[in-house]
Amino acid sequence: MRILLVEDDNMIGESLQKALKASYAVNWVRYVDAAQLSIRTENYDLMLLDLGLPDASGISFLQDLRKQGYTVPVLIITARDTVSDRVLGLDSGADDYLIKPFDLDELEARIRVLLRRKSDRREPLLSYGEISLDPATRELKYKEKSGVLSGRSFPLMQALLQRPGAILSLAQLEEQIYGWNEEIESNAVEVHIHSLRRKFGADLIVNVRGVGYTLRQKDQA
């Protein structure tokens, strides 16, 4: 089990890492920037997230992750203790919220609950016509073809499948596949669509000229 700890306070970070490393692999980062990079290269089972971070707000980071379809359990650890802070944290996509200073035993118990829940949970398959996408494995199936989506191809297909039948504009798709403070590469959406069509068939995604992109319906010619 691998945990990402996002915490800028050295004392707290060190003590948490020390306490948790007996049971888990813990990667500790101090910045949102580093956390973003880390979740792209590692598969985590849980994230411990402080809210006051030096380079960005933990809440916006979390909202952004959920918007992109990142489903890993997040436990907020923060000194912000008002009811409205807690509500905001949970509404932003956190699975649990623990107020500093907390007892290590309680933190570990809550981590166990979230990990247990995660292993029980099976995310529903997203499907439309002959297209299906398993969010847990990132495997896309279309007609007789199947393959695992890498990088930003996954949030792109996920965005299209979450609103089946809708035409999404280039800007809407860019918003889905990029983080809130990431620089958008020009043509990124087109590049991913091109690669998806090459792998799964040219008719997987339909370009509605001047409007955007949509998925091919089963009965569509």
Interface positions with Ca ion (CB under 5 A): 8, 50, 52
Please say whether the beta carbons of 34 and 76 come within 8 A.
Answer: no
C-alpha dihedral, 165 to 171 to 177 to 179, nearest 10° = -140
The one-letter code for the residue type at 195 is S
Question: For Ca ion, which is the closer residue by CB, 13 or 179?
Answer: 13
Question: Minimum Å distance from CB 67 to Ca ion?
Answer: 23
Q: Running DSSP on this structure, what letter comes out for residue 121?
A: -
Q: How far is the CB of 7 from Ca ion (least distance, A)?
A: 7
Of 8 and 130, nearer to Ca ion (C-beta) is 8
Q: How far is the CB of 52 from Ca ion (least distance, A)?
A: 4
User: Between residues 50 and 174, which has the closer beta carbon with respect to Ca ion?
Assistant: 50
Least CB distance to Ca ion at residue 100 (A): 9
User: Omega of the bond prior to 73 within 30 degrees of 0, cis?
Assistant: no
Nearer residue to Ca ion within complex by CB, 29 or 126: 29
Contact 103, 15 (CB under 8 A): no
* Euclidean distance between CA atoms 18 and 142, whole angstroms: 46
Contacts of residue 14, Cβ cutoff 8 Å, sequence gap at least 6: none
Closest residue to Ca ion, based on beta-carbon distance: 52
Distance between CA atoms of 162 and 121, rounded to whole angstroms?
19
- Please report how close the Cβ of residue 8 comes to Ca ion at its closest, in angstroms: 5
Q: Toward Ca ion, which CB reaches closer, 52 or 151? A: 52
Tokens of 39: 């979740």
